[in-house]
Structure 1
């Protein structure tokens, strides 16, 4: 007997509503005896501790309590449910985060304030990050290069890991679910007087899944990964502190290209982080930080006789020392400044050379409250570089309280994304199709070599155009918002944003080959923008009930495409055999893989006397286009679109004997899948979880 999908959702909503209203009377009585908890504190936005509610920048904070209550496993699980964020798969199988309509390559991902690397195609796969030892996740929207430099053009996501409590404490977690997924983790901590140490181990295994049984390949092949993380914190005295951490990640996955070509994909990543802090007096403090990380990826394919068909390597290293100082001249003002140096290398298959980036930088920020109602932040950073033009990144933000209930805030910042190694040094020729892709810096040497070898029919773009440096992509980001507290338990937040991106790096044909294929390279050309509105609301009708919702309206467009539609230069045909017709200005939809509407809705409920909590969460994404399907190179209203969809998740957790918690849940309750276009949604997932604290 089959059950209608909508009936399943109605059942869970009815069940959840019964729990909610059955406890409403008792909850209201308890409300008068409860004390209001302290404000959430965020660090990422200003690199100093700030109350989230007083921040002049658009920011989100995801607490450890929420992460645990929804029984999430990887970072992509939790980020997908936040307003203005959506995880999108790339062609390599990883998942990047799209923020305010900006590509995943424009969002900087940090762990404890230091960056992750490994963007083989511009996207950093956030599904490789476990959430088992996360204290909180901080998300800052808008250009943040004034503090963080390159890759923070769109925003910053900082994952802050857990610190141990006093004495010895341990946490064991185990979850198993559909598609052969198993997640096991252990967190051990010890803290006493001057020292604390914590160690975390996580193992994750997936049997993969197949959304399309008509072909020979799985959508996601089986894989397993492990994460090891250790942190040591030692206070020499009341003024001097030493922090040391190390993290190691490894993953193995089957790599299958066809029935006859099979192999393996391996990832190994490590990073080490050292920070020595010292407080000189009430006004002055400083610290020295050293960070190093390496990301290595290797994949190979073998023929049926186990001979090697192909093999690729990716080996990236980043070393970064930094010194930072903080000066607090008064209770109302804070200066923070720093200087550092990025040293980065990459050894990769299909590169014309082994490149090396060196980039010294310096930054300064002033945070002041001239009066009780006004907060102003002024900041700037200068990045020098040996391979691209230096960048100056200013930013300003302010927040003003009109009353106890209403505050307005706004920020304007400059962000940039440096050309990556691939865009500068790629030297790749497809052995089957025959095309070639050259990095910008490789064109002047490699193209003449190909011409001497008789591979080139004619050169389209003169070599003289590659004598200058490729410019970093850059953006001016504007955010204007209102915080409105209608009652102490009902809050609204509205944010209007605009990101103007210039010098977008794109590909173009630079030469024709005698085999009929082309040679491609990179260049600065497009100007694009993303703009829209974000609305968040939070309602706590009782101390054990939290209801939240969010909505984003997004317009993401290419200015050159807008001009082409406006000037009547774009045509389309409904079928290959039909005649073409001229498109109007309003027919231009926008950039690929962007939805006009996205929304989320969450209910969290706790029954204290039963030691039980439950939640139901939903997300919605409206239609979007992935390809031009009518041959005019633009996404217009006559193209084929991926239909809008919603995902609903349900989780319930029960605590036994104080230290034991059992969790059950269903992710993707309605069982939504798209076999052709959406590879990162596997279908309905049933799971069970056990947590033990001691």
Structure 2
């Protein structure tokens, strides 16, 4: 048995025997007892104590970010229960939560959305953690508050705001493997009514190469920069102004070898966000928020021959979003709060493979009632209505409840509807692979483009009638259920959550025509029905003020309902590699959806030595085997497929020592045992040692 299998058995055993929970809020107004370390706003759009929420929520504090030594958002999310980053078929990485893919997870910064996705995935490594106050993760459908893209959950990054009257700040520098340099400077001050902050980060690396026999590197050299500034002004106790601007830039080398010819170039990303919000406290019971937000994401890539200067590929991606919103919160009486909001989205996308710039417009309104019908029961009722220019209107309700069985035990549950609108790519894409010859068309342009290809004599067969594409492409939808128990007494915190998400009208590609070159023409359609279900266990056991153990485990089943029906009917076959005979498969042979692991787990130890002003932590993350694709061509991922990636465990360690109160030195290593899989997991670079100096002033 290898090291990874031993670690996996240990971690799963610990995670199943230890469980973690939340403190119970019992018949008190949450706003009057808020623990500043555990206040969360994403789940309800109002300040609530984490332990009182009737939803599965993860809170990652600044203290945890500093101790672990992570520098990008994807690194810390990978250490949370039920959350991993995975690569899709195109190689782009995104977050997966409760088995739900990145396309359906909304990414926010200070409560407003970020744009710019590759094949539906949002690149979390774009976000540095240097100025983050906390990260809030809400699992399950959240469309009742956030609309499309929140079908599977929300990740909200809360940045630090100036509070202290004296000038404060910090500078840090981190040197890591692969000649990786990360540097931060953070300055903030609030004097009387006026406050400001300025944050800057730079990250540069030589990249790494897991396959020296192949031209180019696995990850090419890159450098990026983040600038973030905030200005706050308190006119008086009833009116406060918040403004923020963020700019991100990245440049990365690009190399591609095709038929012994090497093409070189670079890719560039420019991102800008501007956020303005006024908080108006009209009375003790009524407050308003007036918000204006604009964001722009632009990416470009060029690959050309350095000898002939022939261009192999050139692409542009330019997206922007404008969103004003008004929110109101009214306290009817203690523990009875109504929150309402309305807003407007105006979104543009101009990119290569689109005939013209595409514009989406939508209007939305939502309402939520957070109340205690009696002393031990908290209920949240919410709903949102979205009206969109390109798809049918959506109504998204949600119900959540938390019941206190005792001072230590609470029961919580929620059920909600989520949706995701068809994106620009699924509606307007017009792409032909020049090397292979296949074509992918968006749903709204498919009929017109097929007619053009047919008139040019490029088609041998058309597999649909025009009337089949007359109805608009439907939004993808899901009903999500979460039910759990929480225990908190003394040194032990425990939480157990059962979840299920049923998806309908999932959008996927289908063949709509065949070309004379033997390749296919694909478009998008609604047809898939899938589900993800399982359980999550989280644990924290605090032996004393110095030593804390925590662990988490997720059991996941993610399957296609139509494939299960086909298996039950005995119409799916595979060849047994031992007998070489073709056999009918049943549900026991069905592994599930690609890129989903049945088991994931984490185990963490944090140890503080106050007398030495030092601390050390060890974090281990395990992922069981998963399949990449259907290798035997029968349409499902079954136990006879050969595309499975073996399970593995990654170990991270960090040691912090503070000198003279303001100087902290950090030593650490990620992927301590140097695990790599150059064929299947190019994002694992091997062991990454680092040293960091942080100076506070």
Q: What interval of TM-score do these two structures reach, taking the shorter chain for normalisation?
A: over 0.9
1:123 alignment partner, one of 121, 124, 127: 121
Moved over 6 A (4+): none
CA distance in structure 1 between the aligned counterparts of 2:117 and 2:431, rounded to whole angstroms: 17
Shift of 1:257: 1.1
**Counterparts in 2 of 1:514 and 1:576: CA distance versus 1, 3 Å:** farther
Per the TM alignment, residue 93 of structure 1 is displaced from its structure 2 partner at its CA by 4.9
Instruction: Please say if residues 336 and 366 of structure 1, whose CA atoms lie closer than 8 Å, have aligned partners that are also in contact.
Output: yes
Confirm or deny: 8 A CA contact 1:153 1:475 kept in the other structure: yes
Contact 1:89 1:679 in 2 (8 A): no
Q: In structure 1, what is the equivalent of residue 226 of structure 2?
A: 227
C-alpha separation in 2, matches of 1:37 and 1:241: 22
Q: Of the candidates 397, 403, 408, which is equivalent to residue 394 of structure 1?
A: 397
Q: Which moved more, 1:451-460 or 1:360-369?
A: 451-460
Aligned to 2:204: 205
Query: Which aligned pairs between 1:83-98 and structure 2 lie closer than 5 A?
Result: 83-90=81-88, 93-98=91-96
Report 1:659-678 matches (<5 A).
659-678=662-681
- In structure 2, the CA distance between the partners of 1:691 and 1:438, relative to structure 1 (3 Å rule), is same
Rounded to whole Å, the distance in 1 between the matches of 2:590 and 2:678 is: 27
CA contact (8 A) 1:94 1:126 kept: no
Q: Could you tell me whether the CA contact under 8 Å between 1:364 and 1:381 is conserved in 2?
A: yes
On the 8 A contact 2:144/2:418 being kept in 1, the answer is yes
- Asked whether the 8 Å contact 1:76–1:95 carries over to 2, the reply is no
C-alpha distance in 2 between matches for 1:420 and 1:272: 23
**Aligned partners of 1:352 and 1:225: how far apart in 2?**
31
Question: What TM-score comes out, normalization by structure 2 length?
Answer: 0.93
Q: 1:620 to 1:634 in 2, by over 3 A?
A: same
Cα deviations across residues 310-350 of structure 1 (Å, max 9, x unaligned)? 21000001000001111111111111101000100100101
Q: Determine the C-alpha separation between the residues in 1 that align with 2:420 and 2:35.
A: 39
Identify the match of residue 657 of structure 1 among 656, 660, 666: 660
Aligned counterparts of 1:565 and 1:227: Cα–Cα separation in 2: 51
Q: Which of 463, 466, 469 is matched with 1:463 structurally?
A: 466
Native 8 Å contact 1:373 1:400 kept in 2: yes
Q: Which has the higher contact order (CA 8 A, sep 6+)?
A: 2
1:590 matched residue in structure 2: 592
Deviation string 1:526-568 (CA, Å, 9 cap, x unpaired) is 1000000000011111012211100000000000110111111
Which ranges in structure 2 are unaligned for 5 or more consecutive residues? 12-33
**Alpha-carbon distance, 1:431 to partner:** 1.1
Distance 2:35 2:426 in 1: 49
The answer (yes or no) to whether the contact 2:399–2:416 under 8 Å persists in 1 is yes
Unaligned runs of 5+ in 1: 14-35
Instruction: Indicate whether 1:325 and 2:325 are aligned.
Output: no
Counterpart CA distance in 2 for 1:312 and 1:39 is 45
Q: Deviations over 1:427-461 (max 9, x none)?
A: 01111111110000011211111111111112101
Greater CA deviation, 92-101 or 264-273? 92-101
Q: CA RMSD in A?
A: 1.7
Is the Cα contact below 8 Å between 2:215 and 2:256 reproduced in 1?
Answer: no
2:274 is the alignment partner of 1:272: yes
Name the structure 2 match of 1:17.
none
SS of corresponding position for 1:681: coil
CA contact (8 A) 1:595 1:623 kept: yes
Contact 1:120 1:314 (8 Å CA) reproduced: no
Aligned residues: 664
State which of 294, 297, 300 in structure 2 corresponds to 1:298.
300
Mapped to 1, the partners of 2:264 and 2:3 lie a distance apart of 37
Deviation at 1:612, TM superposition (A): 0.1
Residue in structure 2 matched with residue 16 of structure 1 by the alignment: none
Alignment of 1:339-354 (within 5 A): 339-354=342-357
Q: In the alignment, which residue of structure 2 is the partner of 1:72?
A: 70
Distance 1:546 1:155 in 2: 28
Shift, 1:179, TM fit: 1.2
Does the CA-based 8 Å contact 1:39-1:51 persist in structure 2?
Answer: no
Which of 255-264 and 49-58 deviates more? 255-264
The within-5 A match list for 1:123-522 is 123-166=121-164, 167-258=166-257, 260-303=262-305, 304-485=307-488, 487-522=489-524
Query: What is the alpha-carbon distance in structure 1 between the residues aligned to residue 35 and residue 490 of structure 2?
Result: 12
